[in-house]
Amino acid sequence: MALGSFFGAGLLGLGRGLLLWSAGAFFDAFFVPFINGSTQAIWQSKVAPDVQGRVFAVRRLFAQITAPLALLLAGPLADRVFEPAMQPGGTLAGPLGWLVGNAPGSGMSLILLATGLLGVAVGLVGYLIPKIRDVETLLPDHDAAAVAVPAAAG
């Protein structure tokens, strides 16, 4: 599902018109509730209820701190690095101009495309690592772990 969302981000970067931008935005947003619901179900079944508040608070902190950091980085990177590099005569205009263009906004398109490609790569790597892919079956549910501990102790 995450691959679909990152595919949408890549489409946003490749798009040069409303139709592709709309499709990219749709795919980028469509899968997010499924991703969040699936991960939330795993966390709730694996973390003991008495510590869920603390664990989920830290989890949300790490998840949400990335948004302001991304905003702080994306603007300067787009304005000072990628936009000048994608303009005619820029360092990336030759090798990547055919892909995202050389018009104003091409640097931001390159950032969106790179975000999509990196996201797809991370998703595929996570899928290829069995301990990550199978975490739902490898880790015991908090109910099973609570039942198993007293039995082992007695």
Domain boundaries, the chain: 2-153
pLDDT for the residue 5: 83
Confidence of residue 150 (pLDDT cuts 50, 70, 90): low
- The closest alpha carbon to 86, from 99, 97, 78, 72, belongs to 97
**For 21-79, what is each residue's pLDDT tens digit?**
999 999 889 988 998 899 999 999 999 999 999 999 999 999 899 989 988 999 999 99
pLDDT for the residue 50: 94
pTM of the model: 0.80
pLDDT for the residue 15: 86
Measured between alpha carbons, how far apart are the two ends of the chain, in Å?
A: 44
What would the two tokens of residue 152 be? 């082992």
Phi first, then psi, for residue 67 (nearest 5°) are -65, -50
Say if residues 13 and 110 touch (Cβ distance below 8 Å).
Answer: yes
Q: Is the pLDDT of residue 149 over 60?
A: no
Q: Which residue type occupies 61?
A: L
pLDDT for the residue 43: 93
Mean pLDDT of 5-33: 89
Q: Which residue type occupies 125?
A: V
**For 84-116, what is each residue's pLDDT tens digit?**
999 999 999 999 999 999 999 999 999 999 988
d(CA 68, CA 138): 34
d(CA 36, CA 119): 16
Phi first, then psi, for residue 41 (nearest 5°) are -65, -40
Residue 51: how many CB atoms within 10 A of its CB?
10
Confidence of residue 128 (pLDDT cuts 50, 70, 90): very high
Q: Which of residues 145 and 130 earns the better pLDDT score?
A: 130
What would the two tokens of residue 84 be? 């000048």
Q: Is the pLDDT of residue 4 over 80?
A: yes
Residue 7: how many CB atoms within 10 A of its CB?
20
